[in-house]
Amino acid sequence: MRCAHSRSASAVMEAEPSVILQNLFETLLAAFGPQGWWPADTPFEVIIGAILTQNTSWNNVTLAIKRLKAKDLLDLSKILKTDPDTLRECLRPSGFFNQKTRYVLEFCRHVHHHHEGNLSAFLQQDLETLRKELLSIAGIGPETADSIILYAAHQPSFVVDAYTRRILSSHGLVPSNIGYEALRHYFMDALPPNVYLFQEFHALLVRVGHLYCRKKPRCAECPVRSLEMKEPSEMRRLS
């Protein structure tokens, strides 16, 4: 005789990804409330934050952004006019600051050369054109590009990260080695292209990943535990 949980688990195995993801979103929203991402005053600040957050903590990004604000440098044309050493010093707290200085400058030069410095015009391009253009700029990979599209351009491109992969693969919904584009499509094929939904869903997955779905998961306290997804895999429970 199967237990109640295994009955619900097998029902979920047959459920469509759209149903599973909608349930997951509602569970996370009920547990944590709206996250209101991205914490920034302007689209340009979102973009700089998205570039700087690679391989560092958000606290370090905040410190770098504070330094930029203190020098009134959170502006595309002002960054291009400033001395690169001043910019480098502002970005120092974000780690890998030489590389990130180059990436920030590359982005600003791109918008300056290809869009006459008009950031709004750049962000208002259609989603596929914007994504392709972002991915052509040094230092902007898929996660950074999708963060910019979703939180600065307010267009529906789902952002996935290591937490997303870990949470979904732990419940057997996707393979643990699924690539970025395939995982992004898993969400985008299943969900309506709604900017609010995509913004909140990504932020909520980061929240649950940060608090519970760590390398050593805290399943017993995690709100996803009560959701009728598949049971966390044996391997995750033992890890």
Residue 63 or 219: the one with the smaller Cβ distance to ligand SF4 is: 219
Residue 19 or 235: the one with the smaller Cβ distance to ligand SF4 is: 235
Q: Contact residues for ligand SF4 (CB under 6 A)?
A: 167, 170-171, 208, 212-213, 217-219, 222, 224-225, 232, 236
C-alpha–C-alpha distance, residues 222 and 213, integer Å: 8
Instruction: Extract the tokens encoding 151.
Output: 């939180």
Taking the complex as a whole, how short is the minimal distance between the CB of residue 13 and ligand SF4, in angstroms?
A: 16
C-alpha–C-alpha distance, residues 54 and 77, integer Å: 23
Taking the complex as a whole, how short is the minimal distance between the CB of residue 56 and ligand SF4, in angstroms?
A: 24
CB 106 within 8 A of CB 139: yes
CB 119 within 8 A of CB 158: no
Tell me how crowded residue 5 is: count the other CB atoms within 10 A of its CB.
10
CB 99 within 8 A of CB 51: no
C-alpha–C-alpha distance, residues 49 and 60, integer Å: 10
Task: Report the residue count for the chain.
Answer: 239
Taking the complex as a whole, how short is the minimal distance between the CB of residue 9 and ligand SF4, in angstroms?
A: 13
Instruction: Extract the tokens encoding 53.
Output: 């957050």
Residue 38 or 212: the one with the smaller Cβ distance to ligand SF4 is: 212
Residue 1 or 30: the one with the smaller Cβ distance to ligand SF4 is: 30
Taking the complex as a whole, how short is the minimal distance between the CB of residue 140 and ligand SF4, in angstroms?
A: 29
Taking the complex as a whole, how short is the minimal distance between the CB of residue 20 and ligand SF4, in angstroms?
A: 13
Residue 49 or 217: the one with the smaller Cβ distance to ligand SF4 is: 217
